[in-house]
Structure 1
Amino acid sequence: MKSSANHPWSVGDVAERFGLPTNVLRHWESVGLLRPDRDAAGRRRYGEDEVVRIAIIQRSKAAGMSLEQIGVLLDDGRSGRHEVLHAHLDDLDRRMEEMRRSREMTEHALRCRAHDITMCPNFRAGVEDVLARL
């Protein structure tokens, strides 16, 4: 992307580029994640730095971070960044393990010849950890 001084984008331009509704960008601004400049008419103008922040927010949300966690990540003056990031890594590890188990169960279901896969003992073994919570 070009320099923010030469190519500031409107809220509509940025929303379109990222496939977001404009109200999402306004909400992120209202919670302090974005701070776009304003032109003489008071319209939001997003420069390269804000566009990078939007990309970080999108990637972080896709990875399961809350807006509050993202706020800590993006705020260079706020304490607790390492704690938030460690907690997020722990959450990612837990979710990745759940995804691995789900994949194994799905692959088994594809190979299973039983009409009712819930009756397959090997398939049921894939959910024993969930059943153990009862």
Structure 2
Amino acid sequence: MKSSDATMSIGEIATRFGLATHVLRHWEATGLLNPARAGSRRRYGPEDLCRVAVILRAKEAGLSLGAIREMLTASAPEERQAILRRQREELTARIARTQAALDLIECALDCGHDDLARCPHFLAVVAERVSGTGSTRSI
């Protein structure tokens, strides 16, 4: 068998990428992977190794499994670009929410009051939220 034709078992590929075998089975069930079979056993070749690496990289970029499947099955570059644009918008919104949370915590730590519950800024934001007039303002 040539090295380019070498295959790996599900346990070997899971170990190689630091994954549990059930993750690879789930990815197969959702259409992300389609390993060859030798009898009833899955056999992963070089293309599958690359595909797992692509899936992991896409997950690191914040893509959902559905978006990854869309990317991998898209027939045109424009489709992949559209998916990436949507992902960028989602990440931008998530970053804004996370920044607002960090701002809240930093303000609470730096405001000079020993208790957030007595901070005038925090109490004003809470009052605005209760009244419905300032539900997106942070302290």
- Partner residue of 1:90? 89
- Partner residue of 1:15? 14
Shift of 1:70: 0.8
Larger of the two Rg values belongs to structure:
2
- Partner residue of 1:104? 103
Q: What is the aligned-residue RMSD (CA, Å)?
A: 3.0
Unmatched tracts of structure 2, length 5 or more: none
Provide the secondary structure at the position in 2 that maps to 1:20: coil
Identity, % of aligned pairs?
40
CA contact (8 A) 1:105 1:126 kept: no
Look up the equivalent residue of 1:36 and give its one-letter code. Answer: P
Q: 1:8-87 alignment to 2 at 5 Å?
A: 8-39=7-38, 41-77=39-75, 80-87=79-86
> Which digits, 9 at most, give the CA deviation of each residue in 1:8-48, with x for residues without a partner?
22111122233322122111112211111223x34212223
Size of the aligned set, in residue pairs, is: 129
Unmatched tracts of structure 1, length 5 or more: none
Look up the equivalent residue of 1:90 and give its one-letter code. Answer: E
Structure 1 moving runs of 4+ over 6 Å: 125-130
Provide the secondary structure at the position in 2 that maps to 1:44: strand
- Partner residue of 2:135? 132
2:124 & 2:19 partners in 1: Cα distance?
41
TM-score calculated relative to the size of structure 1: 0.73
1:124 & 1:74 partners in 2: Cα distance?
49
